[in-house]
Amino acid sequence: MLCRPNWNRHCERSEAIHATSRVSGLRRRCAPRNDAPCHLALTEAIDDHKPMDSERYNARVAEPKWQRIWEEREIFRTRNNDPREKYYVLEMFPYPSGRIHMGHVRNYTMGDVIARYKRARGFNVLHPMGWDAFGMPAENAAWHNKTHPADWTYANIASMRSQLKAMGLSLDWSREIATCDPAYYKHQQRMFLDFLDAGLVVRKKSKVNWDPLDHTVLANEQVIDGRGWRSGALVEQRELTQWFFKITAFAEDLLASLDELPRWPEKVRLMQANWIGRSEGLALRFELDRAKGVKTSEIEVYTTRADTLFGAKFLAVAADHPLAAEIAKNDPGLAGFIAECHHVGTSEAAIETAEKKGYDTGLKARHPFDPDWQLPVYVANFVLMDYGTGAIFGCPAHDQRDLDFVNTYGLGNTPVVCPPGEDPRTFRIAAIAYEGDGVLINSRFLDGLTTQAAREEVARRLEAKSLGNRPQARREVHYRLRDWGISRQRYWGCPIPVIHCAACGVVPVPAADLPVELPRDMSFDEPGNPLDRHPSWKHVACPSCGAPARRETDTMDTFVDSSWYFARFTDPWNDVAATTPAWIEKWLPVDQYIGGIEHAILHLLYARFFTRAMQATGHIGVLKEPFAGLFTQGMVVHETYRSKAGEWFFPADVRIEMGSDGRRAFHIDSGEEAAIGPIEKMSKSKKNTVDPDDIISSYGADTARWFVLSDSPPERDVIWTEEGVQGAAKFVQRLWRLVGELASLAAPAGTPPPTNPSQAAMEIRRVVHMSLIKFEEDIERLRFNRAVAQVHELANKLSVAIGAIESETIGQDIHAAFREAADFLVLMTAPMMPHLAEECWAALGHTGLAAGTAWPAADRELVVEDTIALPVQVNGRKRADLVVARDAGNAAIEAAALALEPVRRALHGKPVKKIIIVPQRIVNVVA
RNA sequence: GCGGGCGUGGCGGAACUGGUAGACGCGCUGGACUCAAAAUCCAGUUCUGGCGACAGAGUGUCGGUUCGACUCCGACCGCCCGCACCA
C-alpha cells in the first residue's frame, strides 16, 4: 500500500485547504506540500507502471504517469496515410494570452471526448492544436513591459502548452502550428498574392476610427464613448486607403450554402444570414430639375418598396453623397450641415438618440410616373452612403424613419397601402408608419393591387421606360455584407507582401522573396505603427523597375490567420505550399468544430470565405464548406464576491458558510463578510475566476474535465461551484472504489460474457448494455451532461448489484457478467476521465491501454425484455403499472388493466367508454 | 425597432417524433460507522392534507386542440442573445 489510511486522511485535509486557498496564479499563501508520504508515493508510482494499490486514487501521481506513457507510445499521432475512415475534430485554437482559462478547459475537454470516442470506434482521428499567435495584446505587453512581442508570445505558448498537456488531451502535437511563425505566414502571404491575382483582393478608400494622439487606427471595440481606449482622445473618422478581401463576391453563395449545413446550430446560420442581409429591390433613377448650377441631372435610389412610390414626399441623399458635395461647394449652409453629420458618433447610443435631420438643397426631382410632380431633395443624416446607392425616396406613411423626418419638416404624408381590415376612406397615418402588406390606395394605376403585385407592376413599367438612353429602373439584389478590410497599422501581424513604387504602383513581392518577415529590432515606446517608424525595413528597391520604393507597412487582420489554419493542420510540414491537395481532399471538411458563440459571425464567415477563395486560386479542390459540423459551447460562469468598500475578491480567497439565512461569504484573510453577487462570465476585472492550474494540481485534470461536462447542457453556461468540483472529485474516488470491488468479483480479463446466464447475471448484462446504448446516443449528439448522468446511473446500479449478490453463492456466470460490467464501465468513462480510466483498466488486469482499446459492442437484443411494465392511466392520469408479456394482445391488456384495483377505484363504477392502448408505451382507460 | 431563444423542485438540469413530469448531480433532513470530526454507506427530499395506505394540486399566466400537453396552437407576462437609421 502506497497510501495508508491515516496518510489519506492527512492528504484529504491538506487537499481541502489547498483547494480553498488557491489564487489565480497571483499568490499562493499555502506552502507547497512537501510532506514525505506524498513525495514517496509520487516517485514510486512514476517508476512503476503497475496500478496503484490503494483505497484512494491519487490523480497527482497517476495523471503525469499516463500522460508520459501516451506520449512515449505516440498513440495520438495521426498518420495521413492511415487507411481507416477519417474523423477530423477541431476546437477553436487559443490566443496565447499566457494562461489557459476555464473556457479553454471546457472547450478542449468536449473536443477531446469526441476525439477519444471516435478513435475507440475505429476512426482515424485528426485532433490537432495550434496558436492564434498574432495580435494586439503582444504589442500592448511590449509597450508596458518592454518585452518583445515574439518573446512574450513564445513564452506564453510554452506555458500554455504545458497546461494543455496537463489536461491529458489526446492531441497530435506533431502538427502544432503558430500563426506568427514565418513558416506559417509565408503561405498566407502567398495566398494573399494569389487572391490579388484572382481579383479577390482590392485596394480602396475606407473610413476608419483614427486616434489622433496615438496615431493609430482603432477597431470599433477599442472606441469607448467616442474616445480611444488607451489615449482617451476623441476619435476621428478618417479615410485611408486599405486592403480588402472581396468577400462580397461570394455573398450569394455564402448565404445559399447555409442551407447545406444541417449540423450547424440554427441560430448561427440565422445570424450569418442576417449579417449577409440579402434584399431584393429596384434601383430607380429620378430626373433632377437643374438649378443652382448643379451639373448632376439625376439621382439613383434603391428601394425594396417600389409599391409605395405614389406615397413619396421627398428624396434624400447621404451626407457623403457626391451630389451633396457638389452642392455644398456653393452652399456654405449645406457644407456646415455635412460637417455636423460627420461629428455625430457612430456608437449605438448616438444613433438611438440622434434626431432625423435634413438640409433642403432646393433641388427638385421629378416623379417617374408624373413629370409635373416635384419632390424636394434633402441631404439627410439618417441616409447611409454605404448601403444601396446612398440615396432614398421617402415614403413617410410606410416607413417610420421617413415619417419621423417629415413630421419635423412638415412635409405631410399620404397613405398608399391600406392594411387588411381597414377602411381605405378613413385610413390615416399619424405618428406610427404602417410597414406591413395590404392593398394599394391613392396610387392611380396601382389602386386595388396587393403590395406584392404593385412592386411587380412598378418594376415592369419602369424597366420599360427609359431615362437618358437607359431603362429608368432595374431590379437589383443588395447585401448588407461589406468587403473585409484587413489592413492594420500594427507590428505584430502578418506583413502584407506588396511594395509601393512611385513609377510602377503597387508591386507584389516576388514569390522567391517570401516570406516578408517582420524585423526583429523594434522599439515600442512610441504610439502608432512601429513598422512605419523602423529605420530601414520599409525601404526597398522596386522588384519591377529597381527604383527606390516603399514596403507596405500595414499587417493583416488576425482574423486572416485563423481563416485557414484548419486546412494547414492537414499537412503542416509542406514547406513549398500552403496545402497538399491529397491531404486536403482526405481530411476536409472538419467533421466537428467546437468553439464559442462569439465567433458565430466573423471568424466562421471569414473561414467560409477563405475556403471559396482558396478553391478559386487552386489551394483547395472541390470543397466549399470548411466545417461540416459546428458546436457552440456555453461559457463558464461564477458568482462574484465584493467587499463593502467595493473591492472584488477571488473565489479562492473567500470562505462560504451555510447559515440559517442561506449562504454567506467571508474573506479568508480579513474575515470581512463579502456580498455574494450575481453569477457572471469569469473575468479578471471582477476576479470571479478559477485557475485551471490550481484545480488540476489540487483535484486532478479528470475531476476538472468531469465537472465541466456535468450538469449543464454543453451549449449553455455552466456555473462553476466549489461544491460541484468536490462532487466530481468524490465521484472519481467512488468510481475507483467501485472498480476495485468489481475487480474482486470479476472473472479474469479476457473472459467472454456468460453464454447461459442466470436471471441475476442476465440482469447485470442488461443494465450494462442499456447504459452503453444510451451513453453512445448521448455522446453522438454531444449531450455530455446526459452521458455523465448515464455513467452515474450505471455506477449506482452496479453498486446495488454488488450489494445484492454478496450474500449468495456466486456462479461463473456472475463473475463473467461483472467482468463485462467493469470493462464497459471503465471504457465508457475513458473519453471523459482518461487517466482514471487507464488506472482502472490496469487494475482490472488488462495489459494494454484503455486509450488503445476498441469501443465495447452493445448488444441490442439483450436489452429487450420478455415482460414490460405498462403505465395505466384513467382519463389521462396514471393510476397503476401493469406488468404484461411484451407480446401480449390488446384484449389481454384491456382485461388485465381493468382488473387492477387502483384502476377500479379511480373509475368510481363509471362505465368505460374506450381504452386506448399504445403498444409498448401506455394504456389509457377513458370513462 | 427587427430577428431568434428560453421560462420545470431549494439549485443545475432530465423527459426520444404528444404517452409514467422531476432521470442524474448539488444541497438539505434523518440514520449507521466513529471518543469525535472528515470520508464512506443507507433512507428520505415537488407542494398541500394525512401517523399511514392514500388523496388533491402541479412544468411563467390565461385560453384552445387531444383519450392524453413541459411538448402542439392563440394571447399575455418575464428573462436572455444577436443585429440595428440597411431604404
Q: Under a CB-based contact definition with an 8 Å cutoff, are residues A214 and A143 in contact?
A: no
Phi then psi for residue A84, to 5 deg, are -65, 165
What does the pLDDT read at residue A851?
Answer: 97
Nearest to A794 by CA among A853, A838, A734: A734
- Nucleotide with smallest C1' distance to residue A390 CA: B87
Pairing of strands A124-126, A86-91: parallel
- Cα–Cα separations (whole angstroms), residue A284 to A401, A465, A699: 20, 11, 69
What does the pLDDT read at residue A157?
Answer: 98
The separation, in Å, between residue A736 CA and nucleotide B43 C1' comes to 24
Distance CA A832, CA A701 (A): 10
Residue A1 pLDDT grade (very low, low, confident, very high; cuts 50, 70, 90)? very low
What does the pLDDT read at residue A53?
Answer: 57
- Cα–Cα separations (whole angstroms), residue A351 to A344, A355, A356, A382: 8, 8, 10, 9
Q: Under a CB-based contact definition with an 8 Å cutoff, are residues A272 and A254 in contact?
A: yes
Residue A225 pLDDT grade (very low, low, confident, very high; cuts 50, 70, 90)? low
Helix (H, G, I), strand (E, B) or coil at A394: strand
Choice among A312-316, A421-425, A600-604, A842-846 with the minimum mean pLDDT: A421-425
pLDDT at A313 over 50: yes
pLDDT at A227 over 90: no
Strand partners, A440: A417
- Nucleotide with smallest C1' distance to residue A663 CA: B27
The separation, in Å, between residue A638 CA and nucleotide B29 C1' comes to 28
Work out the burial of residue A130: count CB atoms within 10 Å of its CB; fewer than 13 is exposed, 13-18 middle, 19 or more buried.
Answer: buried
Phi then psi for residue A665, to 5 deg, are -115, 140
Helix (H, G, I), strand (E, B) or coil at A539: strand
The separation, in Å, between residue A658 CA and nucleotide B26 C1' comes to 14
DSSP letter for each residue of A794-809: HHHHHHHHHHHHTTSP
Distance CA A274, CA A784 (A): 30
- Nucleotide with smallest C1' distance to residue A316 CA: B87
Q: Counting every residue, how long is chain A? A: 927
pLDDT at A77 over 50: yes
* C-alpha dihedral (A111, A114, A117, A123), degrees to nearest 10: -100
* C-alpha dihedral (A839, A842, A848, A851), degrees to nearest 10: -30
* A71 Cβ neighbours under 8 A, 6+ residues apart: none
The separation, in Å, between residue A296 CA and nucleotide B63 C1' comes to 62
The separation, in Å, between residue A350 CA and nucleotide B61 C1' comes to 38
Q: Under a CB-based contact definition with an 8 Å cutoff, are residues A856 and A772 in contact?
A: yes
- Nucleotide with smallest C1' distance to residue A399 CA: B87
Q: Which residue is nearest to nucleotide B39 (CA to C1')?
A: A9
Q: Is A496 or A717 the better-scoring residue by pLDDT?
A: A496
What stretch of H or E contains A509? none
Locate A266 and state its grid cell. Answer: 440554427
HSE at residue A115, side-chain half, CA atoms within 13 A, is: 29
The alpha-helical segments, DSSP class H, found in A258-416 are 266-276, 322-328, 332-343, 348-353, 400-409
**Which amino acid, residue A838?**
E
The separation, in Å, between residue A401 CA and nucleotide B55 C1' comes to 62
pLDDT tens figures, A646-695:
888 898 888 887 665 567 788 888 888 888 888 888 888 888 888 999 99
The separation, in Å, between residue A651 CA and nucleotide B45 C1' comes to 29
Phi then psi for residue A894, to 5 deg, are -55, -50
What does the pLDDT read at residue A523?
Answer: 87
Residue A43 pLDDT grade (very low, low, confident, very high; cuts 50, 70, 90)? very low
pLDDT at A44 over 90: no
Q: Which runs of E-coded beta strand occur in A337-457?
A: 358-367, 370-380, 391-394, 417-418, 439-440
- Nucleotide with smallest C1' distance to residue A871 CA: B20
The mean pLDDT value of chain A amounts to 87
Distance CA A238, CA A207 (A): 5
Choice among A15-29, A139-153, A235-249, A731-745 with the minimum mean pLDDT: A15-29
Locate A410 and state its grid cell. Answer: 412638415
- Nucleotide with smallest C1' distance to residue A380 CA: B85
What does the pLDDT read at residue A494?
Answer: 97
Among A109-113, A328-332, A396-400, which range has the highest average pLDDT?
A109-113
pLDDT at A527 over 90: no
Q: Which residue is nearest to nucleotide B20 (CA to C1')?
A: A871
- Nucleotide with smallest C1' distance to residue A790 CA: B24
* A552 Cβ neighbours under 8 A, 6+ residues apart: A495, A496, A497, A498, A499, A500
Provide the positions of strand B that have an atom within 7 A of a protein CB: 3-5, 12-16, 19-21, 23-28, 37-42, 55, 67-69, 81-87
- Cα–Cα separations (whole angstroms), residue A775 to A259, A293, A313, A772, A823: 30, 78, 65, 5, 15
* A99 Cβ neighbours under 8 A, 6+ residues apart: A25, A159, A160, A163, A691, A692, A693
pLDDT tens figures, A90-136:
999 999 999 999 999 999 999 999 999 999 999 999 999 999 999 98
Nearest to A649 by CA among A103, A20, A33: A20
The separation, in Å, between residue A491 CA and nucleotide B61 C1' comes to 58
Q: Under a CB-based contact definition with an 8 Å cutoff, are residues A705 and A832 in contact?
A: yes
Cα-based angle A289, A290, A293 (whole degrees, multiple of 5): 160
Helix (H, G, I), strand (E, B) or coil at A769: helix
**Which amino acid, residue A307?**
D
Locate A863 and state its grid cell. Answer: 436489452
Phi then psi for residue A645, to 5 deg, are -75, 0
Choice among A20-29, A98-107, A161-170, A463-472 with the minimum mean pLDDT: A20-29
Strand order through the sheet with A484-485: A216-218, A201-211, A236-245, A484-485
- Cα–Cα separations (whole angstroms), residue A578 to A420, A548, A575, A615, A707: 59, 31, 8, 12, 39
Locate A374 and state its grid cell. Answer: 416635384
What does the pLDDT read at residue A26?
Answer: 24
